Amino acid sequence: EVHLVESGEGLVQPGGSLRLSCAASGFRFSSNWMHWVRQAPGKGLVWVSEINPDGSTTRYADSVKGRFTISRDNAKNTLYMQMNSLRDEDMAVYYCARGAAGASGLDYWGQGTLVTVSS
């Protein structure tokens, strides 16, 4: 069974940094694109970033480009998001999600981890 478990939840001041992790199990992690999607309290889903199976291609939403870095360790079956220069508007629940093989959907999601940005 596919499982995605995010960690790294925390409270950080504006301008600070935080690293999120997403531990994957139940599938061949090195075969799938992986994504981060966030949801601010009471708001809708927003796509943040994606990474290809071998980590050589990364893409970002304009709102986080230059501040966030997505990466993966296929040996550890883990996805990461390094978040720097955090802003108030980055406060959200961050979900990691698996890209469906050969299709456009995100077929499995983690339970989410909360990032709070506040002074």
Partner 1 sequence: QSALTQPASVSGSPGQSITISCTGTSSDVGGYNYVSWYQQDPGNAPKLLIYDVSNRPSGVSNRFSGSKSGNTASLTISGLQAEDEADYYCTSYTSSNTWVFGGGTKLTVL
Residues at the site binding partner 1, with contacts judged by CB under 8 A: 35, 37, 44-47, 50, 59-62, 95, 100, 103-107, 109-112
Report the nearest approach of partner 1 to the CB of residue 54 (Å): 17
CB 111 to partner 1: min, Å: 6
**Is 20 in contact with 114 (CB distance < 8 Å)?**
no
Nearer to partner 1, 66 or 105 (CB): 105
CB of 3 to partner 1, least distance (A): 12
Rounded to a whole number of angstroms, the distance between the first and last alpha carbons of the chain is 40
Q: What is the DSSP string of 46-67?
A: EEEEEE-TTS--EEE-TTTTTT
